[in-house]
Amino acid sequence: MSLLRVNNLRVVFETPYGQVKAVDGVSFEIERGEVVGLVGESGSGKSTLGLSIMKLLPPNARILSGQVIYNGVDLLRLKEDELRKIRGKEISMIFQDPMTTLNPTMRVGEHIAEALMYHYNMDKEEAWRIAKEVLESVGIPAERAMDYPHQMSGGMRQRVMIATAIALKPKLIIADEPTSALDVIVQDHILELLKDLRDRNKASIILITHDLSVTADIADRVLIMYAGRILEVGTVEHIYYHPHHPYTQGLLKSIPKLGSKSELYIIPGSPPDMTNPPSGCRFHPRCPYARGICMKEAPPLVKVEKGHLVACWLYIER
Amino acid sequence: MLMTDVLRHVWPKRRGIEHYMLLMGIVIVICLTIMALLAPIIAPYDPIKTYVGKPYTPPCTEHLFGTDRMGRDVFSRILWGARSALAVASLAVVIAAAIGIPLGLLSGYIGGPIDRILSLIMDSIYAFPSLIMALAVAAALNPGGATSITSAMINTSLAISVVYIPSYFRVVRATVLSVRENLYVKAAQALGADVLTILTKYVAPNSLAPAIPIISMNFADAILTASGLSFLGVGLPPYFPDWGVDLATGWRDLPNGAWWMSFFPGLMIFLATLAFMMIGDALNELLNPRRGMK
């Protein structure tokens, strides 16, 4: 049985301009110890997907249908206090912006100690001892545990965030753009930390990012998301060396390469307005291969080889 | 280490007018506190005892601030008056903050119908003219006069505090509305923190700064309102040494030329109000996160 299985999840946001279909029928699963990269551009619904697994969506969001089955339990049906026991302890989250995810009036060690205290009923002393250990494991000296967040740099704060996320030894970590706000060298350290975490704790990681190179470095499998739907799923080899979907191909072509003389490729058009998404395949207005059927009907995800699925009419015999 | 940080922030090398306002306000408040604490020792006469001197004696060496129409020493009454002024004002502010701040936190964080109802109640209190509101509450609490000094002081404080609850509620609620959107609140939820933990450890410490200047502003206003209530006869009893009471009884003798009976209590009310106003204004300026950007 896989650790997490998302079935046909549909999430909308109620806005004054209409319903935004942020996640529209997404299904996938994650095995224990697996790292899955969830790649998409801004507004593709990848962060919403991450938040709906934790059921931490903003009040104007509604889950229309679907299941999020973690260890055999549908999280979407759990009551708030049952969910609280899972959040942090079983599934934890690393957010994008390290400058705003730490409480400015709380010492960094306390963020960790607090969580240990309410999940394991630890006394204060022991919780702080473990908090310091965890901070050291991500490369922050124990004496900095008494610092306030403003006394630390962005990279250090992101390490603290990671320390908080791993302190309770969760089985699944949802990392929402954990490296986007950091410079490249710090990015590398953070990715190493995540890899280390997977190896040591056998944790599964969902890595949400818009950066294909980050996923290439760490992920076992990659999900390509566009306008609330998954367009292609495969191993890193599948996606990078044999991309099938025209969108994935476009994404790969638009990575700048050092020394290349040719002009950088840009996928034409812009991401769709999600209050009124395109009919049929959501990518058809920007797709060079679009045909009649692409405008009428959404293509299902079909297998092109073992473990490699694509949602595109080009690969479906009719 | 943290304490020195705070001190350096409040009293830096480069100082503006607000730093000196803060210092002056604090010095006056400390003097008032010393007056209140040491009143039994430094007061030359019993403040309630009548005919300790000739009635209507103008200020002289024996009676620094003169005597009133019943021959009570005005200076002694002023010293003792600091006690009731500080006691009533601080009690009123503490009660108002203790009710207004938690309600504001809760209302802002939870939202929904509870927030609607609480906001409606607070707005209707706020819309009411404050002295009339306090007057009504004081009259309701003290039908036919309080039984003892303590209960008169508590009732006066309660009456005043009702007026101030909405100002704490509104300021705190408004701050919570923006604080609760911070990512660290969501991160705390993602770690499994319950509502109480999030409110007390994440939302409250980041939402209370705007309420601090209000505390000292209210303190100033409370001294005035307490005097007003005593002046109107629903606060403290007339024989009691209180600036408001003395002002109320003293002003009737102004036409006779006995200015000292109302001037000194008035001066004290003015000084105390000014001191707290200065502290409030200075804190408002110093605690503003945008400070130093202009």
Judge: B190–A93 Cβ closer than 8 Å, yes or no: yes
Judge: A89–B192 Cβ closer than 8 Å, yes or no: yes
Q: Is residue A142 part of a domain?
A: no
* pLDDT score at B290: 58
> What 3-state class would DSSP assign to A278?
coil
Chain A residues touching B209 at Cβ < 8 A: none
* pLDDT score at B172: 94
* pLDDT score at A183: 80
Judge: B190–A92 Cβ closer than 8 Å, yes or no: yes
Chain A residues touching B182 at Cβ < 8 A: 100
* pLDDT score at B250: 82
Chain A residues touching B202 at Cβ < 8 A: 103, 106
Contacts of A198 (CB under 8 A, 6+ apart): A33, A35, A204, A205
Q: Is residue A124 part of a domain?
A: no
Q: Which of B3, B184, B202 to mutate to test the interface with A (most CBs of A within 10 A)?
A: B184
CB distance from A104 to chain B under 8 Å? yes
Mean pLDDT of chain B: 85
Q: Is residue A160 part of a domain?
A: no
Distance from CA of B99 to the nearest CA of A (A): 23
Total domain count for chain A?
Answer: 1
* pLDDT score at B293: 45
Asked whether residue B138 carries a pLDDT value surpassing 80, the answer given is: yes
Judge: A56–B190 Cβ closer than 8 Å, yes or no: yes
* pLDDT score at B294: 40
Beta bridge partner(s), residue A23: A11
* pLDDT score at B145: 60
* pLDDT score at B222: 87
Q: What angle do CA B79, B83, B89 make, to 5 degrees?
A: 130
Which amino acid does the sequence have at A271? P
Asked whether residue B198 carries a pLDDT value surpassing 80, the answer given is: yes
Judge: A105–B206 Cβ closer than 8 Å, yes or no: yes
Judge: A88–B206 Cβ closer than 8 Å, yes or no: no
Asked whether residue B1 carries a pLDDT value surpassing 60, the answer given is: no
Chain B residues touching A93 at Cβ < 8 A: 187, 190
Which stretches in chain A have pLDDT values below 70? 318
Domain enclosing residue A37, as ranges: 4-90+170-315
CA distance A130 to A120: 12
Q: Is residue A95 part of a domain?
A: no
Judge: A106–B205 Cβ closer than 8 Å, yes or no: yes
What are the structural domains, with CATH classification, of chain B? 82-286 (1.10.3720.10)
Q: Is residue A246 part of a domain?
A: yes
CB distance from A80 to chain B under 8 Å? no
Judge: A103–B192 Cβ closer than 8 Å, yes or no: no
Judge: A87–B191 Cβ closer than 8 Å, yes or no: yes
CA distance A87 to A93: 9
Query: In this predicted model, what pLDDT tens digit does every residue of B236-283 receive, in sequence order?
Result: 887 888 888 888 788 888 888 888 888 998 899 889 989 988 888 888
> What 3-state class would DSSP assign to A27?
strand
Query: In this predicted model, what pLDDT tens digit does every residue of B75-105 receive, in sequence order?
Result: 898 899 888 888 998 899 999 999 999 999 9
pTM (predicted TM-score): 0.79
Q: Which of A105, A121, A173 to mutate to test the interface with B (most CBs of B within 10 A)?
A: A105
CB distance from A101 to chain B under 8 Å? yes
Distance from CA of B193 to the nearest CA of A (A): 7
Contacts of B98 (CB under 8 A, 6+ apart): none
Q: Is residue A147 part of a domain?
A: no
CA distance A6 to A120: 28
Partner residue facing A102 (CB), from B184, B190, B197:
B184
* pLDDT score at B10: 67
CB distance from A84 to chain B under 8 Å? yes
**pLDDT top residue among B43 and A108:** A108
CB distance from A88 to chain B under 8 Å? yes
Q: Which two tokens stand for residue B288?
A: 């503003």
**Complex ipTM value:** 0.84
In the sheet with A91-94, reading across from the earlier edge strand, the strands are: A91-94, A172-176, A204-209, A35-39, A221-226, A229-235, A308-310, A302-305
Asked whether residue B140 carries a pLDDT value surpassing 80, the answer given is: yes
Residues 33-62 of A with CB under 8 A from B: 54, 56, 59
The CATH code of the domain that includes A177 is 3.40.50.300
* pLDDT score at B245: 81
Asked whether residue B2 carries a pLDDT value surpassing 70, the answer given is: no
Q: Is residue A225 part of a domain?
A: yes
Query: In this predicted model, what pLDDT tens digit does every residue of B112-128 receive, in sequence order?
Result: 899 999 999 999 998 88
Judge: B187–A93 Cβ closer than 8 Å, yes or no: yes
Q: Is residue A63 part of a domain?
A: yes
* pLDDT score at A213: 83
